[in-house]
Amino acid sequence: MYNAGKIIVGILIFLVLVSVPFWYNRGKAAAPPKLEVGTTEKQCVESTPYMKASHMKLLDQWRDDVVRNGKRIYISSTGKQYEMSLQNTCVKCHAKKTQFCDRCHDYVEVSPVCWDCHIAPKENSGPKE
């Protein structure tokens, strides 16, 4: 092959770079975040596994139901009624955003834009956003 030397060296460098995520942090497993739920309530709007997997979908549905369809009351699968509101319902229990929401979001490098508009509750301790 033409320029075999340069190409093979290039391929080796590429393989090293592309595998960086695997070998750079070897031996140092980042611990999954510990969450301060922020409330003594036993039950969230839906079950914890469901909320862990689908809270974004739920919030999206809530957004469309409230803004576009004018419906504000949510009857969860447990039969309890909630007002569909991130700022008024979710935050009533999960009042410390930095100790709950942000811990997982930072861990997986997700920055949801909700808080550009929806007002996060003031926290007395913890860093300012």
Which residues contact another protein (rule: CB under 8 A)? 46, 63, 65, 67-77, 83-84, 87-88, 113, 116-119, 121
Rounded Cα distance, 10 and 16, in Å: 10
Beta carbon of residue 48, minimum distance to another protein (angstroms, whole number) = 15
Complex with another protein: residue 25 or 78, whichever CB lies closer: 78
Q: How far is the CB of 47 from another protein (least distance, A)?
A: 10
DSSP bridge pairs for 81: 75
Q: How far apart are CA 86 and CA 14, in angstroms?
A: 45
Considering only CA atoms, which of 69, 68, 62, 127 is closest in space to residue 90?
62
**CA–CA separation, 77 and 2 (whole Å):** 66
For another protein, the closer CB: 18 or 75: 75
> With respect to another protein, which residue has the nearer C-beta, 5 or 79?
79
